[in-house]
């Protein structure tokens, strides 16, 4: 059955992608408090599980075959193409959509990190650029990137289960950060908080949001 499943057993690629994805994550999120490290640990587990199945052992597919009786003759390593019987076409579609979301997510948390770093250096509140559209663009980028890669492109048991847990962990972390910002900036942050959405911009601001994630000034 292993020969019917593409992209399995290449553990070197799995290790390379785990290292690259982990470096990007820790480069821009740089956890400091134990709450941040707890969230980072969940993301790290997500990354390892995702690429271990993508390039190593496709555990999710094997379990579905074993316990749910999927037809082995139409197996493909991608879960959606297997369940929908779309073969390589389904894999290609999910890959394109997943990577598009991943790159948008990376752009959001990289640009958000740069904007936050500049604000920190200037000892001011970050309220322009991406921060003028949402209060936590880095977390938005994390959600979009993980959803694209671990739910759309290459869903596994672990990635699908861990994704909502990660979202919840970072929502709670965002609330903790906002309490700290209120203590530090007082009324200025309260006004900013009232006029700016938490994670996702309004309908008419999405185009601007995506352009800013690419470092495009409008």
Residue 218 lies in a domain: no
Residue 143 lies in a domain: yes
Work out how many domains the chain is built from and give that number. 1
C-alpha torsion angle, residues 116, 121, 123, 126 (rounded to 10) = -20
Task: Give the angle subtended at the CA of 36 by the CAs of 130 and 24, to the nearest 5°.
Answer: 60
Q: How far is it, in rounded angstroms, from Cα 100 to Cα 97?
A: 5
- 139 lies in which domain range? 2-213
Q: How far is it, in rounded angstroms, from Cα 88 to Cα 65?
A: 18
CB count within 10 Å of CB 149 equals 27
Residue 43 lies in a domain: yes
Q: What's the rounded mean pLDDT across residues 143-150? A: 94
Query: What's CA 188's distance to the chain center, in Å?
Result: 30
Q: What's the rounded mean pLDDT across residues 105-126? A: 89
Residue 123 lies in a domain: yes
The length of the chain, given as a count of residues: 218
Comparing 13-22, 77-86, 151-160, 204-213, which segment has the lowest mean pLDDT? 77-86
Residue 38 lies in a domain: yes
Residue 75: what pLDDT?
56
**List of residues 6+ apart from 98 with CB closer than 8 A:** 148, 149, 152, 153, 154
CATH number at residue 205: 1.20.120
Coil, helix or strand at residue 214: coil
pTM check: above 0.75: yes
pLDDT tens string 160-181: 899 999 999 999 999 999 999 9
Comparing 29-38, 96-105, 123-132, which segment has the lowest mean pLDDT? 29-38
Q: What's the rounded mean pLDDT across residues 50-67? A: 76
Predicted confidence (pLDDT) at residue 46 exceeds the cutoff of 90: yes
């Amino acid at each position: 059955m292993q020969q019917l499943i593409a992209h399995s057993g290449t553990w070197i690629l799995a290790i390379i992608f785990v290292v690259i994805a982990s470096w990007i994550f820790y480069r821009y999120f740089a956890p400091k408090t134990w709450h941040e490290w707890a969230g980072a640990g969940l993301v790290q587990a997500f990354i390892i599980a995702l690429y271990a199945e993508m390039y190593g052992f496709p555990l999710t597919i094997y379990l579905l075959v074993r316990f749910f009786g999927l037809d082995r003759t139409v197996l493909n390593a991608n879960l959606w193409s297997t369940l929908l019987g779309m073969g390589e076409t389904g894999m290609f579609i999910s890959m394109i959509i997943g990577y598009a979301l991943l790159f948008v997510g990376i752009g959001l948390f990289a640009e958000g990190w740069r904007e936050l770093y500049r604000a920190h250096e200037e000892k001011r509140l970050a309220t322009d650029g991406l921060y003028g559209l949402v209060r936590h663009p880095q977390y938005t980028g994390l959600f979009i990137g993980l959803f694209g890669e671990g739910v759309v492109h290459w869903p596994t048991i672990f990635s699908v289960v861990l994704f909502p847990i990660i979202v919840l962990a970072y929502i709670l972390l965002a609330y903790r950060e906002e309490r700290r910002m209120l203590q530090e900036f007082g009324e200025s942050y309260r006004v900013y908080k009232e006029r700016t959405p938490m994670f996702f911009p309004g309908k008419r601001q999405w185009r601007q949001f995506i352009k800013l994630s690419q470092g495009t000034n409008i």
